[in-house]
Amino acid sequence: MTDWAKYEGLVVDPEQDLWSQSYYYNAYDPATRVGCLIRIGLLPNRKQANSWLIVFADGQPVFARTNLNLPYTDARPDRGVQLAGMTVRAVEPLELTHISFADADFGLELDWRSTVPLADCIAMTRDTEGTFAREMANIHLEGPCSVTGHVVIRGNRVALSGTGFRDIAAGTRNWDGLHHYRLAWPVFDNGMAFSGIHGVSTSGASSYMRMFYDGSRWLGVKHITESIDYSPDTFSVNSMRWAFEDQLGRHFTFSATPVFNWVFPQDTFVVCEQMMEFKLGDGTVGYGLSEGGFRLPWCGVQMPLSA
């Protein structure tokens, strides 16, 4: 039996200078067109912390707070962690997380409840020697959630009832070890969810993290083919179409267009996050994240689109 709940608390490897614990949450409600992108990162051996909290409505930002170098804390979600005014608390480890924030012109109270058990995407991919396993995390727990609560935008309270995705990661986090990666995390209305990440290291090695929830269980993914149309800025996606084959030999396709775009600096690396409207080949709609990472200076160099 796995002891994944421990990663909601403090876990440290003192021998790894870039050891990191991170917690990520996103959400979108298509009825109100309100959503958010949230992440906290904690580097105990560097005595650094970072966070971002981006909230948007109707495709436009309504609150944006990004902090790359905060004072470090040993606090973790299991007992509640506070960073830059935001509190993240694991009410039920791996099952329910409450996030709150209150400022003069903005506030939120939101709950992420896992709709299926989290799975370790690195283990599901069976790529222990790949770039992600060596440079980005030892464990990467992921899964879809229902998200409920409200945001307050300059005194106007707006309810949010939608879907989201979360992850819990621990291990070495070396952004500079990657040349580029692209990610798709759709959550579909029929109960399906997909996690696919394709990255290329600075040495040119290609690697993946990939798994698929078919409505009843997590399965491995044997093959992904990606088609992506980038904007002139070379970071954001205009449209995307992916195809994949699960471990049972079934084939699926989905396409996506952006709802909201935001770019996060990571010193010598840039992360572009986009909330997307997804559509399966059979027409089933979903919402979720497209994310791209780019090592600076970025020249738009192409990478293989399938494996």
Where do the structural domains in the chain lie, given as residue ranges? 17-295
Q: Which residue has the tokens 């992420």?
A: 112
Residue 247 phi/psi, 5-degree rounding, is -65, -15
Residue 207 phi/psi, 5-degree rounding, is -150, 165
The yes-or-no verdict on residue 133 having pLDDT over 70 is no
Spell 129-150 as b/e; 16+ CB within 10 A means b: ebbbbbbbbbbbbbbbbebbbe
244-272 pLDDT tens trace: 999 999 999 999 999 999 999 888 999 99
Q: Look at residue 166 and tell me whether its pLDDT is greater than 90.
A: yes
Arithmetic mean of pLDDT, 24-41: 98
Which tokens is 196 given?
Answer: 């696919």
Q: What is the pLDDT of residue 2?
A: 76
Q: Which of 255, 237, 253, 245 is nearest to 294 (CA)?
A: 237
In sequence order, the β-bridge partners of residue 265 are 270
SS3 of 261, please? Answer: strand
Find the mean pLDDT for residues 75-79: 98
Mean pLDDT value of segment 101-129: 92
Q: Does the pLDDT at position 131 exceed 60?
A: no
pLDDT tens digit sequence for 170-229: 999 887 788 999 999 999 999 999 999 998 888 888 889 999 999 999 999 999 999 999
Mean pLDDT of all residues in 108-122: 97
Specify burial of residue 176 (Cβ count, 10 A radius: 0-12, 13-18, 19+). Answer: middle
Does position 103 have pLDDT exceeding 60, yes or no? yes
**Confidence class for position 1, pLDDT limits 50, 70, 90:** very low
Q: Is residue 134 very low, low, confident or very high in pLDDT (cuts 50, 70, 90)?
A: low
What is the C-alpha to C-alpha distance for residues 225 and 228, in angstroms, rounded to an integer?
Answer: 10
- Residue 282 pLDDT > 90: yes
Q: pTM higher than 0.85, yes or no?
A: yes
Query: What is the residue whose two structure tokens read 């010598």?
Result: 268
The CATH-assigned architecture of domain 17-295 is Beta Barrel (2.40)
Contacts of 108 (CB under 8 A, 6+ apart): 36, 55, 99, 100, 101, 149, 150, 151, 152
Angle made by CA atoms 280, 133, 117, in degrees to the nearest 5: 50
Mapped onto helix, strand or coil, the DSSP state of residue 135 is helix
CA end-to-end distance (rounded Å), the chain:
32
Could you give the maximum distance between any two Cα atoms of the chain, in Å? 53
pLDDT at position 295 is 93
Give the containing element (helix H, strand E) for 122: helix 121-125
∠ CA 139-289-64, rounded to 5°: 100
pLDDT score recorded for residue 299: 83
Q: What is the pLDDT at residue 130? A: 57
